[in-house]
Amino acid sequence: MPVHLSLRSYSLRAPNPSSCFPSRRRILQRIHMLAWIALFAFPSLPARSEQPSDITQDSIEELMKTKISSVSKREQQVLDTPAAVYVVTRDELRSAGVRNIPDALRLVPGLDVNQIDASTFDVGIRGFDERFSNKMLVMIDGRSLYSPIFGGIYWDSINLVMDDIDRIEVICGPGGSLWGTNAVNGTVNIITRSSQETPGIFLADRSSSDTPISLSARYGGHVGRFGSYRILAKYADAFGTQDESGHWAGDAWHLLRGGFRSDLKLREHDALMLEGNLYGASFGEPLSKTILVAPFAVTASGINSVSGGSAMGRWTHGYASGQETQVQIYYAIEDRDATERPDNLYTIDADVQHHFHIGSRQDLVGGAGYRYSEFYAPATPFLTITPAKQQYPLYSAFIQDELVMFPKRLSLIAGGKSEHNRFTGLDFQPSLRLNFRPNEKSAIWASVTKAVKIPNILNTSMYRPLSAGVGADGIDLTTLVGNPKYKDEHLLAYEAGSRLQLKRASLDATGFVNNYNDVETNETLAPVARSGYTEYPTQWANNLYGKSFGAEVAASWKVAPVWKMTGSYSWLKMEMRTNSQSNDTSTAVGFNAGTPTNHFGLRSSLLLLKNLDFNALAQYTGPLPSGLGRNTPPALPSYYRVDSNLQWHVRDYFRMDIGGQNLLRPRVTEYVGGNGAIQTSSPRNIFARITYVF
Amino acid sequence: MSTETNATARQVLKKKHCCSCLPSRVNRHALWYLLLCAVVFHPLATGNAWAQPANDADRVKAAFLFHFAQLVEWPADAFDHSGNSLFLCTLEDDTFFDELENTIEGKQIGSRTIHIRHVHFSQATRECNMLFVNKKDSRNLPLATLRNLPVLAVGEADDFLSSGGIIRFRIENDKIRFDINLGAAQASHLKISSRLLLLASSVSRGAGTDSER
């Protein structure tokens, strides 16, 4: 798939029926089937002999072949962290059999994940979830995926090779003081494995009823004496989804991705990490376009071509005194040739961080960064950005001091980050955290943090037709326009939590109270007479304030050496309201009713036989209460979701999984209306996956 | 939801007649794969009924330390103070220390018994035959003072070998690997068995960076 950076003019295109089955795809499917036959013909070898419970009886040669799980180290680190951290480990990713990041995030308490269509998701942390959640930061290895234009994340082009992921660290709550603005409600950091850990050949093929092809190939090797590298390629092809009546939504997609990573040790104290990727994809997008004649809205599907790439380098230098400096530079470019929201965005980011100790009790990290984004967003009938070409420079600096007040008992972390953006200037986000360790196995923490969401380009520069109809004097058109004076949104968060880490069980509970101010509203302005219609503009403003309360609980229990259960529960209540200057009657209700109050999840991982795992996951998402007012989302009933899979492996070189997701019903509607998207649903799918490692 | 997202008038989507042929074909494919799995799938016949869980990293490292003790030869005078005991020391009373106590405390290495202790680094030079240093404690540790002393220093830090350590653990592809600095071993008058040298991922001679074989 060529990476093209040119832009084309737009028109609403209905999908070409014959494009459902180009001959290229047929050929790929045939090769695919043959590959499966060939792989199955490979003889399966006898399982290895049983391991005695006294591990010292194993010979050292056998120990070298033993696979390890590094769970305990991570558990210790989490006990020392005064924040609502949840880590999705590689084992959990594998047991869950997930195919993409949003599905993996369903496992985390405090997160609300709803599938919108075949490639888009609505993900939110502690409320405010929307298709483009602007109060959440998502990163891969420290590289931000947040778009300053839409103030959100495009989940569609993050299609990683799942085996490359070491862990996903989710912090619920404002990570503002360390990660920066827009991490208001939470941060998701996807951390990939070092190339040192992925040598050799890796092949994986996942086929499911909604995504028939998902093929990954990876090769890892050494760079002389200096270190290691890996290169990878992935191709995925998915069918679209159907709505409740069985009509196809036109949201099929396919994606080709290539990437590399290299971890080098240049000299004794210098480490260099290089990472890059290139991708080209095509996504069908169900759309609704507002027009000025009856029936005032037409639906159709657009085909979005997305291509892009990124390159990142991170240099870490350790000093003899124990200090460490880290410099990270990345460059990312994406050309999104979309029907509704096209854009051509490039970003360059440079960060410096220094870590040092003062005495034996203080640990200081400080840093500064500069990020420059430039984009061009041509106008479409759906959205116009004025001016279409803009720059977005961002300066930032942060400092964090960890003070050990009583060794192994009490530590205090004080920090702050300051950023400067071209719309609202300078902001400051301080945070104070306390971590108390009553003993080795438990921790109690509390924190107060201030976080800020800075204006994105939509907030300040957009024009979008929302709906049309027949009014008193002819045609009326309601629009949404940007506000160049849009202010920062503020959050003051109070959080506390406790953790218990026993040998076979763990419990993690968090509670929070969030105070929001200057949050987004849409104010109705005076109508404007235009030629042929009357425009009723609504404009972005900052007239929403309020509170949200919530709690998250995560527990795990190793019932038997072969059976582990994990449970999670979250509760959220939002009380947002508009101030006296506002005439917006629906946004507050929309947020308050837009996230379910209760989420519950239960997972089981059972080792049936020597090489056979059985995993099951059941989730409950509460209903969206019906809201009042014209534009609130209609009530969505609660839904259950059950996933299950069987995983079989032969030694450590061959692995096969079969299972299903969303097994209870043929499809579940997880997301209603909004953003011009058509009503679609999350389908039931059955999958099989095989993996070879040489 | 943000009111940028107003609900719009619903229209019935036109049926895409081509794509309607997909579901049955897809389901047939999926079922076909599953059938093939069931046919080829025969791990049930082999192995024992109840499996062992994935091994915890600490447990496997402890077992490695036990084998290192078996495959390394100390000079005769190294045990003058300890008699029939071989002391394996860590610098912290942490979960790894607990694991060592559970796994290898009291086991026999030849005529000697292994005992696990946790000490300050300054004591290690006099009272230990083996020393394990985890990544965190490696910072600023004067490993060079162990040179010429018959202490088998095993660690995890990236620069452990170049700082004076003898064996270093790494994780590669979810398995434990180790590298040996033979020069440091020889300076400490420790003889490493050729069997152990063969299993190491790399063996270096000097204080320089690790070299691949």
Question: How far apart are the C-alpha atoms of A634 and A127, rounded to whole Å?
Answer: 17
Question: How far apart are the C-alpha atoms of A92 and A98, rounded to whole Å?
Answer: 9
CATH number, domain with residue A514: 2.40.170.20
Is position A671 within any domain? yes
> At which residue do the structure tokens 């849409």 appear?
A522
Per-residue model confidence (pLDDT) at position A10: 28
Contact between B49 and A612 using a beta-carbon 8 Å cutoff: no
Question: How far apart are the C-alpha atoms of A233 and B168, rounded to whole Å?
Answer: 33
ipTM above 0.90, yes or no: no
Question: How far apart are the C-alpha atoms of B207 and B186, rounded to whole Å?
Answer: 12
Could you report the per-residue pLDDT of A397-431, keeping only the tens digit for each?
A: 999 999 999 988 899 999 999 999 999 999 999 99
CA A116 to chain centre: 14
Which tokens hold the place of A242?
Answer: 């159907």
- Asked if the model's pLDDT at residue A243 lies above 90, the reply is no
Lowest mean pLDDT of A135-139, A421-425, A526-530, B134-138, name the range.
Answer: B134-138
Nearest CA in chain A to B9: A297
Please name the CATH architecture into which domain B57-204 falls: 3-Layer(aba) Sandwich (3.40)
Could you report the per-residue pLDDT of B169-182, keeping only the tens digit for each?
A: 988 767 889 999 99
Owning domain of residue A321 = 69-293+309-693
Domain count, chain A: 1
Mean per-residue pLDDT, A551-578: 92
B120 contacts chain A (CB < 8 A): no
Q: Minimal Cα–Cα distance from A94 to chain B, Å?
A: 13
Average pLDDT, chain B: 74
Selecting from B4, B37, B46 the residue whose C-beta is nearest the C-beta of A658 gives B37
Q: Select the more confidently predicted residue: A593 or A553.
A: A553
Give whole-number Cα distances, A53 to A50, A266, A649, B52, in Å: 9, 42, 21, 8
A393 pLDDT band, cuts 50/70/90, is: very high
- Asked if the model's pLDDT at residue A303 lies above 60, the reply is yes
Is position A298 within any domain? no
- Asked if the model's pLDDT at residue B89 lies above 50, the reply is yes
Contact between A607 and B17 using a beta-carbon 8 Å cutoff: no
Contact between B51 and A61 using a beta-carbon 8 Å cutoff: no
A674 contacts chain B (CB < 8 A): yes
Q: Which residues are CB-contacts of A222 (< 8 A; sequence separation ≥ 6)?
A: A199, A228, A229, B212
Is position A303 within any domain? no
> At which residue do the structure tokens 């990124």 appear?
A310
Per-residue model confidence (pLDDT) at position B27: 52
Contact between B9 and A131 using a beta-carbon 8 Å cutoff: no
Percent of chain A with pLDDT over 90: 44
Mean per-residue pLDDT, A474-479: 91
Question: How far apart are the C-alpha atoms of A149 and A168, rounded to whole Å?
Answer: 25
Three-state secondary structure call for residue A573: strand
Average pLDDT, chain A: 84
Contact between A68 and B60 using a beta-carbon 8 Å cutoff: yes
Is position A44 within any domain? no
Name every chain B residue with its beta carbon within 8 A of the beta carbon of A209.
23, 26-27, 29-30
Lowest mean pLDDT of A512-516, A551-555, A623-627, name the range.
Answer: A623-627
B191 pLDDT band, cuts 50/70/90, is: very high
Could you report the per-residue pLDDT of A84-107, keeping only the tens digit for each?
A: 888 898 888 988 888 889 988 988
Per-residue model confidence (pLDDT) at position B50: 33
- Asked if the model's pLDDT at residue A33 lies above 70, the reply is no
A548 pLDDT band, cuts 50/70/90, is: very high
Question: What sign results for the dihedral spanned by CA atoms A189, A190, A195, A198?
Answer: positive
Is position A31 within any domain? no
Selecting from B7, B13, B49 the residue whose C-beta is nearest the C-beta of A609 gives B49
A185 pLDDT band, cuts 50/70/90, is: confident
A359 contacts chain B (CB < 8 A): no
- Where do the domains of chain B lie? 57-204
Q: Are A133 and A124 in contact (CB under 8 A)?
A: yes
- Give me the phi and psi of A419, to 5 degrees please: -130, 155
Q: Are A385 and A460 in contact (CB under 8 A)?
A: no
Contact between B9 and A222 using a beta-carbon 8 Å cutoff: no
Name every chain B residue with its beta carbon within 8 A of the beta carbon of A243.
13
The model scores a pTM over 0.80? no
Nearest CA in chain A to B31: A686
Q: Minimal Cα–Cα distance from B118 to chain A, Å?
A: 17
Interface of A with B in 496-555 (CB under 8 A): 520, 522, 538
Nearest CA in chain A to B199: A61
The residue type at A19: S
Is position A9 within any domain? no
